[in-house]
A and B are shown apart, each in its own frame.
Chain A
Amino acid sequence: MKVRMTQLALVAATVLGFATSAYAFHEGGVAYCEGCHTMHNSYAGASGASYAATGSKQMTVNNPGNYISYTYLLQGSDQSSTCLKSGCHANSAAKATSKVVFTTGLTGGVPPASYTPGGDFAYLTKTYTYTPTYSTTASSSVGDRHGHNVIALDLTLAQDATLIAAPGGTYPRANLTCISCHDPHGKTRIVDATGTMESPRVPTDVSLPIGASGSYGEEPTADFAVGVYRLLGGIGYQPKSLSGSFAFAADPPIAVAPSTYNRVETTYDTRVAYGSGMSEWCQNCHTNIHNDTYPGVLRHPAGNSATLGAATTLAGYNAYVMSGDFTGDVSTAYSSLIPFEEGTTDRADLVLNAVIDGSKTQGADSNSNVMCLTCHRAHATGYDSITRWENRTEFLTVDGEYPASDATATEAKYGQFARGKTKAEAKAALYGREPSEFAYFQRSLCNKCHLKD
């Protein structure tokens, strides 16, 4: 039978015309209200008491006891479950540029499929179990340790089983959801080319309306502002569902991402151009971890003033290629596995570096600084403590391959190196990079700056 391709072009034009506004959900600011909320909470006219008592069909109920309340007239069962719907920010298979941050339906041995710079929350569901060669007792890299433990009951994501508050801070685990970091109403906006941010709240505040997302480099004009990076909460932000004094003290960072960002990095890195302010923003919750005055404060430097400097770390970052090879050049020194802030709030400059085609590989300069995301991802990773690479073992590669339960070399199969991952999982956790990108026995990527290997 003859194979034919259907021709839908004429229909396409009509569909597009109808659906033009359909893509404008967040667009840098607050979406249309009924996208997440119900106005009258009276399903088909049946308003009234809770389901448990009368079975009435309201969309939301107030804490009936057996399950989490979803007040605030949210249609979803809780805040994160509202965001993590299939087709929105969750899906069974992510694809390049999509906004999926949670891969559903994963089986053992299959890695999460989302490769956003922030990471795939599905790693919270992946517990890797292994037995070291020097022991008969199995150990685990528990999923709970792999990311920010956002609560999403519809996806069986529960609060952190161990930490009762943010490390270095007091933000309670019972209130950690997507909206702990991301302002669902996107009030904070960038109002000028220098990155000035405003968050109008009180009735007398005035600012520009948000006209577009600011995550990809679009600039504000005299008529409209752009949203801050990733709709992160700004100064004064605190979810209504969180009682106490947790209002943010720092505005979101200045950063620009390429519009195509959910992709494996086998060939080229996904370079998010971080400018300034990331660590200061993380400090909103991780109060006592931020530090840019080392050695005055004995914590690893991270912050606007924690520049790599002209001393060893800057030269080291630009020279480091892999374990044992420090012959690199600044022109090709950049690695998205160990990113840095460029020390600028000039988004017009940053957008030039936000690429996925390998055209911008220049390393750090004296203005570049270490930030929290130099070593961690924001959402989740395949490793404990949300690090970007494995920090609980000596080697990232063994005998030229990823240590894995199904590796070829005997030593590469050692439990203490493989830590319960298959080859596919080990590669996915490093965003699709081939082991040949690293040394035959590659050590921790802390050495990208510290050159101890």
Chain B
Amino acid sequence: MISITLATALVATLLQGAEAPVAKVQVSYLYDLSDATGPIPSIWASLAWDEERGELYVVDTRANEVQIFNQKGMEVFNFGDVEGLTNVASVAVLPGGDLLALVWVDGQSRVVRANFRGEVKGDWVPSGVPEKFAKDFLPGTVVVAANKVFLADKSRMKVLVTDLEGEVETSHDFAEAMKLTGKKADDAGMSGFSVDREGNILFTVPTMFLAFVVAPDGKLDAFGVRGSAPGRFNIVGGIARDEGGNFFVTDQLRSVVLVFDSKFNFIDEFGFYGPFPGGLCSPLDLVVANKKVFVAQSRERGVSVFNVRIN
């Protein structure tokens, strides 16, 4: 049974623009992720958070590197371009510290399991894959959350959900479910994709100017209003959720991070365009953890870290 709260959510979102926000966000820029030589440049790296160790994994596909940063934002390790672990597109941290790394080989993606040093332990192959996902499914993103593994083909808006061993539990074809056909299907596609601690799937579709939240039972909510004013989506990007249930969404064009509460009410936004410390350049992927927001950007700005407090 699917309970529909979308209409309610949309009405709430539309009405929200007429109300003054009841909470504000206090933000301070901390630093850019660095190594001993200084800030590490990258363009639109993908991020993954290790909840147990409080470390951030950064996948820089251009450099063919996976970088690991401690809680002070310093790189403590990196690996890349090793046998079995070349062309890494995405990583996710399993309970216990092992990684699932999604790699590209000859135009196809596959997942390997490795330890935190990038030493491959073997292939990780999902089982019980529905026939519909046996072809025309090219995942480029892997996420581990709520003791499940999520493989996402963002272009086709398809997601496979498995247990930690790879046994498929659920599959989603959001384009089909939304009856997106023809040019609408072609123009659609996820930009940001993440999964919160409760297993809710979060994703954004820039051409629809919407962010979506899909609960484990399939209930779907969407929020977002198109525009360039504060609180509005222009070219929406990454999405993440903090421990308090607040949503954080990047806008690539406005170069801001928007903050919404758990009921999709706009709280505040922070950031402004600037290729210098404290500024944001077309922010995309982000992670929110321990009152910090890690934001991956373009223009070789790497990943900037902000301290965030919501009143």
Contact = CB atoms under 8 A, between A and B. Distances in A.
Q: Do A and B bind each other?
A: yes
Interface of A: 1, 3-16, 18-19, 22-23, 25, 34-39, 43-44, 51, 55, 57-60, 66-67, 70, 75-77, 81-82, 85-88, 91-99, 104-110, 153-156, 259-260, 424
B135 interface: no
Interface in B175-225: 177-180, 182-184, 186-187, 189, 191, 204-210, 214, 218, 220, 222
B242 interface: no
B237 to A, nearest CB: 6
A189 to B, nearest CB: 20
Contacts of A6: 2, 170, 172, 177, 214, 218
B231 to A, nearest CB: 10
Nearest to A7: B2
Contacts of B104: 110
B226 interface: yes
B45 to A, nearest CB: 8
Given A7-B2, A15-B210, A155 B106 contact: no
10 residue pairs, one from A and one from B, having the closest CB atoms = A87-B206, A8-B177, A105-B61, A97-B186, A6-B218, A34-B228, A95-B155, A87-B191, A57-B272, A12-B178
Given A67-B275, A98-B187, A154 B298 contact: yes
Given A86-B252, A87-B235, A91-B189, 10 more contacts: A6-B170, A9-B177, A13-B179, A38-B228, A44-B230, A59-B254, A75-B254, A87-B237, A106-B62, A259-B183
24 contacts: A1-B167, A6-B218, A11-B2, A16-B179, A18-B10, A22-B226, A51-B276, A55-B278, A59-B255, A59-B273, A75-B253, A81-B282, A81-B299, A82-B253, A86-B235, A91-B155, A92-B140, A98-B187, A105-B43, A109-B87, A154-B282, A154-B299, A155-B43, A260-B186
A14 B154 contact: no
Interface of B: 2, 4, 6-7, 10, 43-44, 61-64, 86-87, 89, 104, 106-107, 128, 130, 138, 140, 154-156, 163, 167-174, 177-180, 182-184, 186-187, 189, 191, 204-210, 214, 218, 220, 222, 226-230, 234-237, 252-255, 269, 272-276, 278-279, 281-282, 284, 298-300
Nearest to B44: A104
Contact of A39 (B10, B210, B228, B274): B228
Nearest to B206: A87
Contacts of A106: 61-62
Contacts of A16: 178-180, 184
Looking at chain A's contact residues, is the secondary structure mostly helix, strand, loop, or mixed? Answer: loop
Contact of A43 (B187, B272, B298): B272
Contacts of A95: 155-156, 186, 189
Nearest to A35: B234
A5 B214 CA distance: 13
A205 to B, nearest CB: 29
A107 B87 contact: yes
The winner among B4, B269, B282 for most chain A CB atoms within 10 A is: B282
A77 B273 contact: yes
B64 A51 contact: no
Nearest to B172: A6
Contacts of A105: 43-44, 61-62, 89
A415 to B, nearest CB: 22
A99 B187 contact: yes
Given A11-B6, A38-B228, A107 B61 contact: yes
B228 A156 contact: no
Nearest to A38: B228
Given A87-B206, A104-B43, A9 B186 contact: no
A125 to B, nearest CB: 8
Contacts, number: 209
A98 B189 contact: yes
Nearest to A99: B187
Contact of B170 (A3, A104, A108): A3
A291 to B, nearest CB: 38
A206 to B, nearest CB: 30
Given A75-B228, A154-B282, A59 B272 contact: yes
A85 B183 contact: no
Contacts of B234: 34-35, 75
A81 B7 CA distance: 35
A270 B43 CA distance: 31
Contacts of A97: 183, 186
B1 to A, nearest CB: 9
A19 B272 contact: no
Contacts of A58: 272
B107 A424 contact: yes
A23 B207 contact: yes
Nearest to B228: A34
Contacts of A5: 130, 170-173
Could you say which of A8, A16, A110 has the most chain B C-beta atoms within 10 Å of its C-beta? A8
B186 A96 contact: yes
Contacts of B163: 1
A109 B140 CA distance: 17
Contacts of B179: 9, 12-13, 16
B252 A22 contact: no
B298 A15 contact: no
Nearest to A95: B155
A109 to B, nearest CB: 8
* Residue in A6, A35, A57, A91 with the greatest tally of chain B CB atoms within 10 Å: A6
A423 to B, nearest CB: 9
Contacts of A156: 43, 299-300
A445 B230 CA distance: 54
A20 B10 CA distance: 14
A8 B138 CA distance: 22
B299 A3 contact: no
Nearest to B182: A259
Contacts of B2: 6-8, 10-11
A35 to B, nearest CB: 7
Contacts of B86: 107
B5 to A, nearest CB: 9
A259 B187 CA distance: 11
Contacts of B154: 93
A73 to B, nearest CB: 10
A279 to B, nearest CB: 30
A9 B4 CA distance: 11
Contacts of A60: 273
Nearest to A96: B186
Nearest to B227: A34
Contact of A1 (B44, B169, B184): B169
B159 to A, nearest CB: 9
Nearest to A55: B278
Contacts of B61: 92, 105-107
Given A75-B234, A95-B156, A107-B62, A3 B130 contact: yes
